[in-house]
Amino acid sequence: MNAEKIETINDVLFGVISSGLSRYLDHRSPKALQEGQQITGMAMVNLREKQTLQDLSEMLKNNSGSQSRWGNRFGFILLPTFYHKHNVDPLEHVRRAKKMIDRKKQTSEAHFAYHIGHLAMSLLGPKAAYVLNYRVLCNTTFTFSNVVGPQEVITITGNPITFLRVNTSSIPHSLTMHMVSYAGRADMQIMVAKDIIPDPEFLAKCFEDALVEMKEAAAAAV
């Protein structure tokens, strides 16, 4: 297989989200949306380079002299998905997701978003930075993230940790999705505003069915 055609877990994840949302909307509002109507999501991007033990040692020895610094360094990218009828090829959602994400990787969108927020914080203060980020959130529909957790089971005082979860609050989105991988298993957590999405169990089933159909279509194509 050509390396350029290999899908990453983010390609598949966003393909599942695209297909699942289309399924859900096709069930809830089959006449309200037009084919190809855009729904924009937002994903946070970690801009910190991967730290080695030597880097961390240098930061501990001399924080001011180290090239790395403490704290978070996040930007964000906007990821458009499109409503399509249920009869679309399941793998087509993955192909569209891969094409869009590959295009995003070639841009400086996440770095630009981070530096704009950092500049607003430095010059105008935290309130201005908050308003700026909040306005971006208010003009998008959902948030999703994919976090790589420990690859081996960890314990706390001898008790093994069976799963990890991510949580957020005060985001003006009706739908937030977090996926965390831990010890060879990936779990997706779905949080909704129930006055807008009153049946989150059905939405989760739409995502599950989308993944199963993609798996079966991929197996049939081999």
The pLDDT, as a whole number, for residue 61 is: 65
The pLDDT, as a whole number, for residue 24 is: 93
Q: Which amino acid is at 182?
A: Y
Structure tokens at 86: 């249920």
How far apart CA 38 and CA 40 sit, in angstroms, is: 6
The pLDDT, as a whole number, for residue 60 is: 61
Range of the domain at 93: 3-221
Residue matched to tokens 């949080």: 191
The pLDDT, as a whole number, for residue 63 is: 54
How far apart CA 72 and CA 74 sit, in angstroms, is: 6
Number of domains comprising the chain: 1
Tell me the pLDDT tens digit for each residue of 28-83.
887 777 888 899 999 988 887 765 555 556 656 665 444 556 667 888 999 999 88
In this predicted structure, the answer to whether residue 147 has a pLDDT above a threshold of 80 is yes
The pLDDT, as a whole number, for residue 70 is: 61
- Domain with residue 216: its CATH number is 3.30.559
For the segment 124-153, the average pLDDT, to the nearest whole number, is: 90
46 vs 212: which has the higher pLDDT: 212
Tell me the pLDDT tens digit for each residue of 157-189.
989 998 888 888 778 898 999 988 898 888 889
CA 34 distance to own-chain centroid: 25
DSSP letter at 7 equals P
Mean pLDDT for the chain? 84
Sign, CA torsion 119/121/122/125:
positive
From residue 213, alpha-carbon distances to 17, 53, 91, 161 in Å are 13, 42, 9, 31
Structural contact between residues 83 and 25, judged by C-beta atoms closer than 8 angstroms: yes
12 vs 68: which has the higher pLDDT: 12
pTM of the shown model: 0.82
For the segment 114-121, the average pLDDT, to the nearest whole number, is: 92
